[in-house]
Amino acid sequence: AQSVTQLGSHVSVSEGALVLLRCNYSSSVPPYLFWYVQYPNQGLQLLLKYTSAATLVKGINGFEAEFKKSETSFHLTKPSAHMSDAAEYFCAVSVNSGGSNYKLTFGKGTLLTVNP
């Protein structure tokens, strides 16, 4: 079965600083990987996805993530944090669990706070 580990339940950065949110996955077959963001009282919004094309994936709002198979990692970065980036971020893995279901398995999430 697949799993996701997000290191750091809470990350705090200053506005303008680099954002790095860590995600490691475990999967016995090549996975699809996703980052979702959740703002307070809202649903999960897709930031970016890795689907076996380019290993460096660009998403919305200036975020990007790099798939490293050797490290089983898919860390999320943004060069310069903005106050509006404050939210909870979830890494998720998806594999074909039979019948092309591709259910998502989520990490526990990382709460990002941005200090002025």
Partner 1 sequence: EPEVTQTPSHQVTQMGQEVILRCVPISNHLYFYWYRQILGQKVEFLVSFYNNEISEKSEIFDDQFSVERPDGSNFTLKIRSTKLEDSAMYFCASRPGTAGQPQHFGDGTRLSIL
Residues making contact with partner 1 (CB under 8 A): 32, 34, 36, 41-46, 49, 51-52, 90, 92, 94, 96-109
Minimum distance, C-beta of residue 2 to partner 1, in the bound complex (Å) = 11
Q: Which two tokens stand for residue 64?
A: 């990007």
In the bound complex, what is the minimum distance in angstroms from residue 15's beta carbon to partner 1? 27
Nearest CB to partner 1, comparing residues 13 and 93: 93
In the complex with partner 1, which residue's Cβ is closer, 84 or 100? Answer: 100
Rounded to a whole number of angstroms, the minimum distance from the CB of residue 14 to partner 1 is 26
* Closer residue to partner 1 (CB): 80 or 103: 103
Query: Which residue, 81 or 107, has its beta carbon nearer to partner 1?
Result: 107
Cα gap 12→59, rounded to integer Å: 21
The three-state (H, E, C) secondary structure of 17-62, written as one string: CCEEECCEEECCCCCEEEEEEECCCCCEEEEEEECCCCCEEECHHH
Interatomic CA distance for residues 103 and 34, integer angstroms: 12
Measured between alpha carbons, how far is 68 from 37 in angstroms, rounded to an integer?
A: 21
